Amino acid sequence: MHIVGFYVCPGHQVLDLAGPLGAFESVTVVLGRPAYELCVLSRAGGMVQGSGGLAIATQPARGAVLDTLLSIGGELAPMLDAGEAAAVRALAQDTPRVASVCTGAFLLAEAGLLRGRRATTHWRAARRLQQRHPEVKVESDRIFVRDGALWSSAGVTAGIDLALALIEADHGIDVARQVARELVVYHRRAGGQSQFAPISHMEPQSDRIRLALGFARDHLHQDLRLERLAEAAHLSPRQFGRLFHQETGETPAKAVERMRVEAARARLQDGTESIERIARDVGFGDPERMRRAFLKWHGTPPQALRRKERAPRA
């Protein structure tokens, strides 16, 4: 029996817990026999209040023996507490596989478990995680990341994607697919989490990066190479590239591509312009380049998005 422990702090996000817990629970339905023993843990045990005022019964973390530990996300302040970090550090010492859901990555980082490792978290919190823990290699666009025996996932429902990947590692792809069908979710979602994070939510701290983003937004139809954006920010290309990634979690090229996809999508939804004209006007140059970008960010080509928008509503 594989024992999975879900570690929660006060203010945990209920769906961060319920999503992956439900996925592991569904393996029993698919296999027709118990496959996982599930337990919810906290530092002291007892009732722990989560989001929406919902409290959940937990067992004390001390002495728990696990095969997999999941750090559940939620409010950041409790996860930055030294006592919580120490409890997770002690749990992880003898646990073969450790994972985090959403902002649960902060708790793993505070416990020193992410040092020098690749990890992800909710797109809104990725920059803060990188700034607080520069020793962590934060990949802000991933739905989930595996670095050896350490796994992490993006925000909220991405915990289900993570659980499905863990189940696949344990029981194979067919079981994971059947669990996904049981849950009525995708087995593997196309694209990264940036498809859910509009470029307008980028909040760089420095005026220079904001200036470069504004310049890019106003000149999407032009050549926006690194050197030109650096010039708009009044920085050398090397300084600009480093500062841009530090403050946004993305490379300038990826940010420009996403801006172009957003601009193209708005025009696909709102107008009747040809795909060719939209591709040219937003800077893709040709429809094929735009198609590849849409597949990358949205998992579907622009034509399919247009058909979906034009379909009659029930």
Phi, psi (deg, nearest 5) at residue 55: -100, 145
Residue 102 among the catalytic residues:
yes
Residues 130 and 136: their CA atoms lie apart, in Å, by: 7
Q: Among the options 27, 35, 66, 102, which is catalytic?
A: 102
- Provide CB contacts within 8 A for 225, sequence distance 6+: none
Residues 98 and 71: their CA atoms lie apart, in Å, by: 8
Please give the full DSSP string across 111-178, using - where no structure is assigned: TT-STT-EE---TTTHHHHHHH-TTSEE-TT-SEEEETTEEEE-STTHHHHHHHHHHHHHH-HHHHHH
- Hey, what are 269's tokens? 């939804």
241: Cα separation from own chain's centroid: 22
| Run of H or E including 7 | strand 2-7
Residues 232 and 218: their CA atoms lie apart, in Å, by: 12
Please give the full DSSP string across 69-103, using - where no structure is assigned: EEEE-B-HHHHT-HHHHHHHHHHHHT-SEEEEETT
Decide: 153 and 5 in contact? Cβ < 8 Å. no
Instruction: Give me the numbers of helices (H) and strands (E) for the chain, helices first please.
Output: 14, 10
Residues 269 and 23: their CA atoms lie apart, in Å, by: 35
∠ CA 168-164-62, rounded to 5°: 100
The catalytic site residues sit at 102
